[in-house]
Structure 1
Amino acid sequence: MNEKEMKKWQCRSDLALEAVEQMVGQVDQSQEEGVKYEEDDIRGLKVTCIDVAPEAVERVGKKAGRYMTLDTSAIMTHDHDQLTVAMEVFAEQFGKLLKHRGIKETDTCLVIGLGNDHVTPDALGPLVVDEVIVTRHLYELSPNDVDRNYREVSALAPGVMGMTGIETSDIIESLVKKIKPNFLVVVDALASRSISRVNKMIQMTDTGIAPGSGVGNKRKAVDEETLGIPVFAVGVPTVVDAVSITSDTIDLLLKHIGKSLKEENRSYKKLVPFSAARQTYTEDDLPSPELREQFLGQIGNLEEEEKRQLISEVLTPNGFNLIVTPKGIDSDMENLATLISNGINRVLHPNVQFS
């Protein structure tokens, strides 16, 4: 399968980390020309930074720029202390991204919450905007009384074209021309190609965003080329498609079998009883090629992209490649919105304090 064919059917994802993994292999094992990858552990949270150079855009499938991700399980555990740590790390990394692009503390900002607030997994943007501290009206009405530690900030959730009849990017472009902010922050829900990353990863980038691209409904881009000012996008993958779920399930099944065989020293001819306890799997848990074929036939030894292509060819034509979100999405979205809005507030307004 050549690269053109791979791109034609590749699974939906808005994450640069997944795009790099898909197009140039595991980023923590190799460095592709034009792609700079750094990984760090900050207060127990995995933080990655990917710089995509212009010459790597076509290979990676992402715009040139910086992509930062914060990987945390705190969002799923609903632990207040962990969520506070995640918020602080997010604010720190988002602040670094703004400084990377030369944003000054006096620069004015417009925050846009993309998405449909009537659809829970797509409501991240509007929920964040509801909690962003806006100050532009104070600067307009009584500028001499405003604490200068609070930046001039405005915010809007413009809805989606199916509700307004207007292209979202046109609304934003008109607003930018009218109020003339120095930079834009866009918040949106994303799509992932891995079930392990849904509601567990926050992506920050200085490349803007193409709304709906992860679910095959790509709209006009909201970026610096379109608006003439720096555009920073913050997003969390809240959905995954059925192809990814099926592929990941096959991988987990093989790893579970391999791990159980090693631990229990079972005969490879017997299937392994499944435990209800939560398990952690690694690539080392995969059984040998012979055992994979023993359990799953030729499918067990397919390369990752070949396996996904096969599943896509089965599900997509029949309309079964559904877009799925976790059952606990309501409470997850509340935590995500609070985490991101508090982080943005801390970056935009240095005087903000949280208990």
Structure 2
Amino acid sequence: MIGKYRMRTDLAMENQEKFERDHVEISGVEIEKKKRKAEIQTTIVKITSEQGAKMMGKPKGTYVTIEAPLLLTADEEESRKAAEEFSHCLMEMVPEACGSVLVAGLGNRGITPDALGPETVEQLNVTRHLVRTYGKKGWEVSALAPGVMAQTGMEAVEILRGTAEQTHPDVILAVDALAACSIHRLNCTIQLADTGIWPGSGVGNHRNALNQETLGVPVIGIGVPTVVGAGTIVHDAVAGVLESLEESEMDEFLGEVISPALESLYVTTKEIDEMVRRLAGVLAAGMNQAFSGEL
């Protein structure tokens, strides 16, 4: 591809950082950083105007990014801390007066980097049947892994819309694997978005959006980047050599040297099978704490 190279990412924070590096201020975008726990940085990006949404390439709404580099280790205590922070951020985003939630584990269970959603659902405590059968008090939690279109012949939005019409959840949590444009955020970053989620958008495989407009109830998108574009690795490799260039100039240079084949190539880490299980455990633990008080 000749021309401006565009690194794809699902993370709103990374979109904002591109403008920050070029010293461009975006009207209608607010940034807030919090650090409630050591080694865990939480960044809140609020897109409040149509202009900000256009510049960021994201719908208006709130995007929360939790960066926990120690998730890359097998330390159970660090996983617990990350789950607690995720649970806290999740409950801040869930609309008030909600009592039932449907967790949708998106992705292809047979492709390891894409199996985060189904793996999370497997580790989740579902309670809807207990509440309805035994009168147990608390949140009604139900879960579904709708698979991918190649497996079912149906869009995830069609399956979830039908499920929502029958079970009437107050909110839907859509969990999916994401793409990042920084190798340093792979497998250690959690994003929550009150705008829903666009399955496959980070790798250019656009499916129908899952949001309140398409499903009829509020949708919170939740994900962890498990893949990064091969072009990003080239970018990081030459950044030190070409550090005098502005980000826009760097993108144009990469557009001239990166082939279309490389642009469509995505890579992951060699220990991704273990990481996906661990990350799914963190997300499930955070949801279990949020909806049943268990961690």
TM class by shorter chain equals over 0.9
CA distance in 2, matches of 1:87, 1:30: 34
CA distance in 1, matches of 2:21, 2:217: 33
CA distance in 2, matches of 1:39, 1:218: 30
| Identity rate, percent | 38
Flag the 1:163–1:342 CA change in 2: closer, same or farther, 3 A: same
3-state SS of paired residue (2:217): coil
3-state SS of paired residue (1:187): strand
Aligned to 1:63: 59
Aligned to 1:329: 272
Q: Is the 8 A contact 1:31 1:37 kept in 2?
A: no
Q: Is the 8 A contact 1:83 1:339 kept in 2?
A: yes
Letter in 1 for 2:9: S
Letter in 2 for 1:107: G
Q: Out of 224-233 and 316-325, give the one that drifted further.
A: 316-325
Flag the 1:173–1:242 CA change in 2: closer, same or farther, 3 A: same
Q: Is the 8 A contact 1:107 1:182 kept in 2?
A: yes
Letter in 1 for 2:13: L
The runs of 4+ residues in structure 1 deviating greater than 6 Å are none
Flag the 1:118–1:311 CA change in 2: closer, same or farther, 3 A: same
Aligned to 1:20: 16
Aligned to 1:222: 210
- 1:103 is aligned to 2:91: no
Structure 2: where are the runs of 5+ without partners? Answer: none
CA distance in 2, matches of 1:197, 1:47: 13
Aligned to 2:6: 10
Flag the 1:71–1:54 CA change in 2: closer, same or farther, 3 A: same
Cα drift, residue 179 of structure 1: 1.0
3-state SS of paired residue (1:174): helix
Cα drift, residue 129 of structure 1: 0.4
CA distance in 2, matches of 1:189, 1:92: 21
Cα drift, residue 80 of structure 1: 1.3
> Structure 1, residues 304-353: CA drift from partner, whole Å, max 9, x if none?
23323332443333456410001111111111011110001111223x2x
- 1:191 is aligned to 2:179: yes
Cα drift, residue 157 of structure 1: 0.3
Q: Is the 8 A contact 1:111 1:129 kept in 2?
A: yes
3-state SS of paired residue (2:157): helix
CA distance in 1, matches of 2:101, 2:263: 42
CA distance in 2, matches of 1:206, 1:341: 18
Superposed CA RMSD: 1.9
3-state SS of paired residue (2:146): coil
Flag the 1:235–1:37 CA change in 2: closer, same or farther, 3 A: same
Aligned to 2:48: 53
- Written as runs of structure 1 = structure 2, the 5 A alignment for 1:179-258 is 179-251=167-239, 254=240
Q: Which has the larger radius of gyration?
A: 1
Letter in 2 for 1:103: E
Flag the 1:305–1:242 CA change in 2: closer, same or farther, 3 A: farther
Flag the 1:327–1:57 CA change in 2: closer, same or farther, 3 A: same
> Structure 1, residues 271-330: CA drift from partner, whole Å, max 9, x if none?
xxxxxxxxxxxxxxxxxxxxxxxxx5xx56432233233324433334564100011111
- 1:166 is aligned to 2:154: yes
Letter in 2 for 1:203: Q
3-state SS of paired residue (2:259): helix
> Structure 1, residues 16-72: CA drift from partner, whole Å, max 9, x if none?
0011122x3249x87532111001112111111111013211111111100001101
Cα drift, residue 184 of structure 1: 0.4
3-state SS of paired residue (2:258): helix
CA distance in 1, matches of 2:265, 2:32: 34
Q: Is the 8 A contact 1:244 1:308 kept in 2?
A: no
- 1:32 is aligned to 2:26: yes
Structure 1: where are the runs of 5+ without partners? Answer: 255-295
